Structure 1
Amino acid sequence: MLKRSNNLYQQAKNVSRYVPPSQRAIMQHKEFAKSKRQSDILGKIVRYGALTLVGGSILMYLWQPWNPYSNEVSKELRKGLWEERDGKEDYLNALKYYIKAMKVAKEDERMNQLSLEYTGIVLKVAEMYQNLKMTDKLTATYFNLSTFIFENLIHGNILDDNPEKELLIDRDLIVITRWAMLMQKEKPKNWLSDVNNELRDRMAFIENNEILNDLPWIANNPKSKKINTNDLIEVWAEMKEDKFGINHTKKTEWIEENIKSEEGKQYLECWNIMRSFQDRKWPLWIESYLKLRDFYAMLQMNSGNITSCIQILQSNLLWSTIAGFDNSISGTTQIHNIASAWFQFGQLTNDRTAYTNSRTIYEKLISKVSKNDPILPISYYSLGVLALQLNDKELAAQNFSKARTLAVDLDQLQIVDKIDDELIKKLNLK
């Protein structure tokens, strides 16, 4: 396991209990997070779940009348903003000022290191490391920040009545996922076991603590219930078409009319449990948690743990479908990944049933999306690869031809390159 550095932070056990900022600031945070306004400026402030904008909230603090930073900290932050913006893009100088702001804030007795304000400064430091391509420092900063927050969560230092708790959980999930992606890209020694351990820790904490408290209807959902992916795709497609226009009664009637399989009936029991809580509040961290689980599932697939991968991906699709998260967590990508997992399982086990499951899901997905959906080229391409695996060259050629045509129309030339450079040679076509 990686050693948890405390260069930037105090030891978790020494952190003082949370002292909230002004009530007005808290109300603003909650209002922003709930309303999800579409304005570009406000969007950058409130979308804590967006991986690329995780540090953007610092701008709000500097330009609001309730700025919680001291004059000394604000001065250094403004210098940093001026250096990175205003046409200068001098990230090295900006980094210097942000590190200075972090140091001054750390010495301020009024500044809690478990606050969105302080962690926001740390994220600005990380952003500069990213702009400067200082990958080692970026990776270390993400790891230190995430584990600092997480250790305080599991030690009970962030209390349930802390109005920023959900946002801090969200921040931890986002940052550890970004760290995991960097580790996968750079592949340092023991990276896979380190990443698996950290992500499993977060999943265990969420499922054994936060879900039991905030989402009991999910915790009560029998884990032994099987999910029929084809039935789930039917529900996903129906809700995608008219997500807000179908009332609960009509949804139940539609599902009962369209889901006939035994597995589907078991799935319907899961649906009924969750449907009755559909109007309940979802925690602010739920989408970031599903993204972490998606990433963990793909790691499992690449490691050969296909059964675990499929279970996670199916449950993620279930959650995101019912909660209506398709805009931020692409349902088409989730479905495609489930089909890919079945294909991988077929390769590992030489199980033709797995190949059949994979093909059925790809074809079901193709039938449920529009003719211009960007998932189509890669889906037809995947069907072509599957057909090659089964030595059906004629069917492979048909699917590759469809994939190529769609890829050209949708400007996805990388798929054309894959077909022309690799797979067409295997088909002996000119």
Structure 2
Amino acid sequence: MLKVKIPSRQLVSLRRPLLPTFKNGRMLFMTQRRTLYQQYSNTASPLAKTSKLQTWLYTLSGITAVSVGLWWLYWPHHTFPTSVAKILRQALWQESDKMEHDYQAALKFYLEAINECDRLSLDPISDEYTGIQLKIAEMYEKLGMFEEAHTIYVEMLYRYFDALHTPERVSEDKRPHLIQKDLRVLIKSLEMSKDVATAKRDLLAHLLLAQEEVLTRSPELKKFFDRRREKITAASGRHAVEEFESFVNEDNIQLDQDGYMILNLQKDSSAWEPFKEEFFTARDLYTAYCLSSKDITSALSCKLTTVEWMVMADMPPGQILLSQANLGSLLYLQAERFEAQIHQLKLKRNEETSLNPGQDKNIIQALRQLHRNRDSCFEMATNCYQSVIKFAKKNHKLRFNAKDLLDPSAAQAIALSTYGMGVINLHKGVLAKAERLLKDSITLAKETDFQELLKEADRELTKVSKAKETKLKQEGKEIASN
């Protein structure tokens, strides 16, 4: 048996663009696309060739960017059978600078290596076997053969899923590592998938598998999950929205004496390790899929749980701040959805002349519930944003120190929350406050070069100016008429 050294993959953190605005209210999400995978070449992703919907879908997630690599081929060593190691050295040589990156020739040798692994009956879910598969997929991508690459990822997913569901196929100590690999390949396959329905189905299946693993490893989390499920069931029976309490506080997010956010080392996040980054990325992708199908209720429910679980899993504080700001945007969207339903019911009531007393009573009851839900969502959205803003004001060093961090999540959360409050006040017609908040968000965005937010805040300020002009004209007419 020989050891082959595989070149390490550089970890990368990608800048997240802002999600395109929604037509109603133009409420923004700070996208936190966690691109888990680093490519060797500058070959354009097939994602760029697909529809705008899919592009949007993969830019929205609820958790901030994190530095992770595609390949877990940063082993630096894995043990291969002698015959396989010999072929791999030839593949790596063809891929090297000295051979001018002959990916076609390298692919030939990697395929030969995987065939040799099959001949030797190497475990197809081992790091060695899957590592070679990832190299094959990488070569396909570099050659522009994206469908072939996607097929490799799907094949790996089937094997992981089957192994994790087969009793005693994977030892307990190796299951977390295998789930981490499964989720990484899953997210990569979703990035390349063109079938949204199938992608959503696969995502949910693998996500539930990881979730069950977490609950199995932590009885406390299982009790929490059961209580929350009962709460959701009770809320749905009343046709009411879920209640929300802010997770941004000194108990969940701590700062050192210099004002820098620190992790709470007293929390036990072992049940989520080592796949918690991938787990929350997958949850946020599911939220994005729900939004793409206009299922705001499911997206909101998923996001509420995600933010709460992020706190329990001791995720980086900046990511919690930004995730809660995004939750505020979801709540705002839900409030607008209720407003649209209220408008439609009122029109129906006014247009229908043959409504009997019973039907009219039902519409009135429905309108009352919708008004309560709308007001509740606006209130919770405000709570989401305000808690981030108040936390930043109370810990005044946070705003300035955030600019020094590699992860800009905290600074973006503050700017996005300020912007969100500006939009809410514009919606309510509180124009002076809306104008001040939007200008503040522009100042904050400039500090961190948050270009996307700058554009949207400027657009909202224009709407404030127009609203003020309209208000002045109306006041002028009223004065003239008197």
* TM-score, reference length from structure 2: 0.62
1:70 equivalenced with 2:81 (yes/no): yes
The 8 Å contact of residues 54 and 123 in structure 1, kept in 2 or not, is answered as no
- Equivalent residue number for residue 181 of structure 2: 171
Partner of 2:332: 343
Q: Identity of counterpart residues, as a percentage?
A: 20
Q: Deviations over 1:295-341 (max 9, x none)?
A: 212322343333333332233223322332217x8212311221111
Aligned partner of residue 160 in structure 1, secondary structure: coil
Q: 1:196 aligns with which of 193, 200, 207?
A: 200
Query: Helix, strand or coil: the match of 1:158?
Result: coil
How far off is 1:204 after superposition? 3.1
Secondary structure of the corresponding residue to residue 171 of structure 2: coil
Equivalent residue, structure 2, for 1:33: none
Contact 2:150 2:189 in 1 (8 A): yes
The answer to whether 1:106 aligns with 2:144 is no
Please show how residues 206-245 of structure 1 align to structure 2 within 5 Å. Answer: 206-208=210-212, 210-221=213-224, 222-223=227-228, 224-225=230-231, 229-234=244-249, 235-238=251-254, 241=261, 243-244=263-264
Amino acid aligned to 1:204:
L
* Equivalent residue in structure 2 for 1:377, among 410, 415, 420: 415
CA change 1:181–1:348 in 2 (3 A) is farther
Alignment pair present for 1:309 and 2:275: no
Q: C-alpha displacement at 1:150, in angstroms?
A: 0.6
User: 1-side partners of 2:36 and 2:223: how far apart?
Assistant: 29
Q: Which amino acid aligns with 1:81?
A: L
Distance 2:245 2:276 in 1: 24
The residue aligned with 1:181 is 191
**1:55 CA displacement:** 5.0
Q: For the structure 1 residues 55 and 93, does the alpha-carbon distance in structure 2 shift closer, same or farther, using more than 3 Å as the test?
A: farther
| Pair 392,340 (structure 1): closer, same or farther in 2 beyond 3 Å | same
1:138 aligns with 2:149: yes
Map of 1:323 onto structure 2: 313
In 2, the alpha carbon distance for the partners of 1:347 and 1:71 equals 63
- What is the distance in 2 between the residues matched to 1:156 and 1:415? 50
- Asked if 2 retains the 8 angstrom alpha-carbon contact of 1:404 and 1:416, the reply is yes
User: What 5-or-longer segments of structure 1 have no aligned partner?
Assistant: 1-20, 25-39, 248-274
Change in 2 beyond 3 A, CA 1:355/1:144 = same
Q: AA paired with 1:113? A: P
Does 2:283 match 1:293?
A: yes
Q: Deviations over 1:193-234 (max 9, x none)?
A: 2122112212333344x2443122211222235886444222
The one-letter code sitting in structure 1 at the alignment partner of 2:130 is: T
5+ residue gaps, structure 2: 12-34, 39-67, 233-241, 340-373, 393-397, 401-410, 470-482
> Residue 474 of structure 2 aligns with which residue?
none
Which residue of the partner structure matches residue 127 of structure 1? Answer: 138
Match of 1:68, SS state, is strand
Structure-2 separation of matches of 1:402 and 1:103: 61
* Deviation at residue 133 of structure 1 after TM alignment: 4.5
- In structure 2, the CA distance between the partners of 1:99 and 1:332, relative to structure 1 (3 Å rule), is farther
SS in 1 for 2:80: coil
Q: How far, CA to CA, are the matches of 2:430 and 2:185 in structure 1?
A: 44
Indicate how the Cα distance of structure 1 residues 361 and 59 shifts in structure 2: closer, same or farther if over 3 A, else same.
closer
Structure 1 residues 152 and 60: alpha-carbon distance in aligned structure 2, compared to 1, 3 A threshold: closer
Residue identity matched to 1:237: I
Partner Cα separation in structure 2 for residue 228 and residue 218 of structure 1: 19
Matched, 1:418 2:408: no
Any idea what SS the aligned residue of 1:60 has? coil
Moved more, 357-366 or 281-290: 281-290
Tell me the distance in 2 between the aligned counterparts of 1:244 and 1:91.
46
Quick one: structure 1 residues 75 and 236, their matched pair in 2 at CA, closer, same or farther if it must change by over 3 Å?
Answer: same
Return the structure number with greater relative CO, CA threshold 8 A, min gap 6. Answer: 2
- Check conservation: 2:94, 2:105, Cα contact below 8 A: yes
The CA deviation at 1:346 is: 0.8
Aligned-partner residue type, residue 427 of structure 1: V
Task: After TM superposition, give the deviation of residue 380 of structure 1 in Å.
Answer: 2.6
The residue type paired with residue 201 of structure 1 is A
For the Cα contact (< 8 Å) 1:237–1:368, is it kept in 2? Answer: no
Q: Which segment drifts farther, 399-408 or 89-98?
A: 89-98
Q: Please give the alpha-carbon distance, in whole angstroms, between the structure 2 residues aligned to 1:412 and 1:279.
A: 32
Query: Structure 1's 84 and 232: CA in aligned 2 closer, same or farther, altered over 3 A?
Result: same
Contact 2:418-2:441 at 8 Å conserved across structures: yes
Question: Residue 368 of structure 1 is aligned with which of 370, 385, 391?
Answer: 391
**What is the aligned-residue RMSD (CA, Å)?**
3.5
